[in-house]
Amino acid sequence: MTSLESIQRDTAAAVTLATPHAPGTTAVRLTQVGRRFGDVVAVHDMTMDVPAGTVTVLLGPNGAGKSTTVRLMTGSIAADTGRVEVFGLDPIADGTAVRQRCGVVPPKPSLYLRMSGRDNLRYAAEIYGLGRRAAADFLIDEAADRFGIGHALAQKVDGYSTGMRTRLALARAVLHDPDLLLLDEPTAGLDPESARAVLGLIREMAVRGKTVVVCTHLLHEAEGLADQVVLVSRGTAVAAGPPHELARRLWPDCRLVLEAEQPARLDAVAAMDGVLAYHRNGVATADLDDPARIPELVRRLVDDGVRLTRVQPLQPTLEELYFALQRDGNDQPHPHDGPLVAAP
């Protein structure tokens, strides 16, 4: 057996491959969880599910309780009230088993600055039990190359830039091929190239069927990544679901964009049933009380001889949903039935 084959054999033995998730299973469940720091309530009555094999984005302003929620998931702090389950385990009582299946990248990763990048990763490999040194080095080189820091592994970490330190933390987080990846403000302070590496990792993990939880207050990061968005405010989850479901629940009105060969003829829309607002400035926009009205509206325009060149329903962006929720009832929770979970 060649040296490379021996390393690959040891590597395969050292890393526990992800167990395929049964459809509909839950990776993380928080039930009425509360956590205080002295007189400060960081998390209050937090109830949410993270479906296995999905990307869930915790979205909220700084101080909303997102980071505390992630720390509760990893077992680095205990809940004062309620129950936290990760893969059906208690992250406090079964902390070692939970952390073996999790990769975590905090907003300011703790690294050993006087050690080289390679030695930082070797230490993590020992903690995760990734086999003899040759096998661990094979995984280390693979992870480092994945994030573009292979050339810098011999350097001490105190000479790394902020972006390089984050890349090293990312390499450390995926070294043991975790089933659950927890990223807390992962692109804060990063250059565009490093930020793209983070977002690329999220997409890659999703394709491989892993579970990813991302905390962010940057709305553009969540857009297009999330299978489920959990809107967090004042320590609790106020709404959750797939982006399109949140749009339906939090923004029930429908906005329709219209263009025609003779734009002025679109002004008839303003008087039609179900039209809440109408505006034309180059293109026409109409806010409807129900998207089901669109076919009838278009039929009437066509019957009147209007030659339409564009009919486009607009779904609100996460930014619009987020600020709509913040305005709604002075940040009061939106009514919902049962625990906050993503629709199947």
34-47 pLDDT, tens digit each: 999 999 999 999 99
Enclosing H/E stretch for 42: strand 40-51
- Going by pLDDT thresholds of 50, 70 and 90, the confidence category of residue 339 is very low
In the sheet that holds 40-51, the strands lie side by side as: 40-51, 26-37, 81-86
User: For residue 330, is pLDDT > 50?
Assistant: no
User: For residue 269, is pLDDT > 90?
Assistant: yes
Are 251 and 328 a contacting pair, CB within 8 Å? no
Whole-prediction pTM value? 0.75
Neighbours of 344 (CB within 10 A): 7
Calpha distance 292→286 (Å, rounded): 14
Calpha distance 271→260 (Å, rounded): 17
Calpha distance 171→101 (Å, rounded): 15
User: For residue 335, is pLDDT > 70?
Assistant: no
211-254 pLDDT, tens digit each: 999 998 767 766 778 899 998 988 999 888 888 788 777 776 78
Neighbours of 342 (CB within 10 A): 20
Given the DSSP bridges, would you call strands 308-314 and 275-281 parallel, antiparallel or unpaired? unpaired
Q: Which pLDDT does position 109 carry in this prediction?
A: 86
CA distances from 340 to 11, 49, 257, 258, 291 (A): 39, 6, 32, 36, 25
Please count the residues of the chain.
Answer: 344
Domains of the chain: 3-247 (3.40.50.300), 253-315 (3.30.70.980)
Given the DSSP bridges, would you call strands 283-288 and 26-37 parallel, antiparallel or unpaired? unpaired
According to DSSP, residue 89 is labeled: B
Are 254 and 294 a contacting pair, CB within 8 Å? yes
The encoded tokens of residue 180 equal 């659950």
